[in-house]
Amino acid sequence: MSARNQQAAADGGREWFNRVALAIVLVVLVAWCLDFLLSVFEKYRHVDPGTYTMFWSRRGWLWTHLAGGTMAILLGLVQLLTQWPRAFDRVHRWTGRAYLLSILVASTGAAGLIATSPAPLAIRMAFAATALAWLTTSLLGLVAIRRRQVQVHRRWMIRAWLVTLAPITFRLLIRTPDIMTLAEPPDVIAALLWLSWMLPLLLFELGRRLLALRSSWALQRA
């Protein structure tokens, strides 16, 4: 087999591996998101003070936040699935607009919850930082696509969706055995709220840069 054929076979193998890996990641993400959304529905479907506890007097803000957040999670999945095939351009554009609108709705609800929350300042600041990161990454993604910077837009929208998943990530983190014994509960909760969006963004940037280095090394060897 010639060197060119060997290179073509290697490229084909890598492309197949990347497609399989992406499919597995998407399946895990869909299952992860649906499990979270079903658990939230189960928790708040009974509208009474015993179920809502501290949110009962603020349930309007909670419903606003949950409605926008649910749509953002679901539309984010649609955006991931339609960002490459050109056949889905129109779907991608319209779901993108709906996605940004859902973020605004959810952020409005979050602002109301933060403003009326009796929680310690550290927790309220952590929630506010999450909402700010959500709005900032989404706005930068919108600005990029308006400037026709497609690759930049994709990166920022992936970051925005990772922040969208912060509640799901927080639920995973807080279930870590003995995590609540590391410090006072309010301090642990505040720290996990920060980690729930900062850690995924850090891992995304690390993975992106490692892939860039890998591509650079492959070009140098070619």
Tokens of 159: 């970051």
**Amino acid identity, position 91:** V
- Can you tell me the distance from the alpha carbon of 165 to that of 201, in angstroms, rounded to the nearest whole number? 11
| The pLDDT of residue 217 is above 60 | yes
| pLDDT computed for residue 129 by the predictor | 96
Q: SS3 for 95?
A: helix
Is the distance from CB of 57 to CB of 95 less than 8 angstroms? no
- Can you tell me the distance from the alpha carbon of 138 to that of 156, in angstroms, rounded to the nearest whole number? 7
The structure's pTM equals 0.82
pLDDT more than 70, % of the chain? 85
Is the distance from CB of 70 to CB of 168 less than 8 angstroms? no
| pLDDT computed for residue 13 by the predictor | 53
- Report the chain's mean pLDDT, rounded to a whole number: 85
Q: Which of 20-29, 69-78, 108-117 has the lowest mean pLDDT?
A: 20-29
| The pLDDT of residue 75 is above 70 | yes
- Cα dist. 29→65, 87, 113 in Å? 21, 23, 27
Per-residue pLDDT tens digits for 140-165: 999 999 999 988 998 999 899 999 99
Q: Where are the domains of the chain?
A: 58-221
Region 53-77: mean pLDDT is: 92
Number of H-type helices and E-type strands within the chain: 8, 0
Tokens of 48: 């009474």
Per-residue pLDDT tens digits for 131-142: 999 999 999 999
pLDDT band at 72 (very low <50, low <70, confident <90, very high): very high
| The pLDDT of residue 221 is above 60 | yes
| The pLDDT of residue 188 is above 90 | yes
Region 25-44: mean pLDDT is: 86
Q: SS3 for 55?
A: helix
Question: Which DSSP letter does residue 83 get?
Answer: S
Q: State in Å, rounded, how far the first CA of the chain is from the last one.
A: 16
- Can you tell me the distance from the alpha carbon of 19 to that of 81, in angstroms, rounded to the nearest whole number? 12
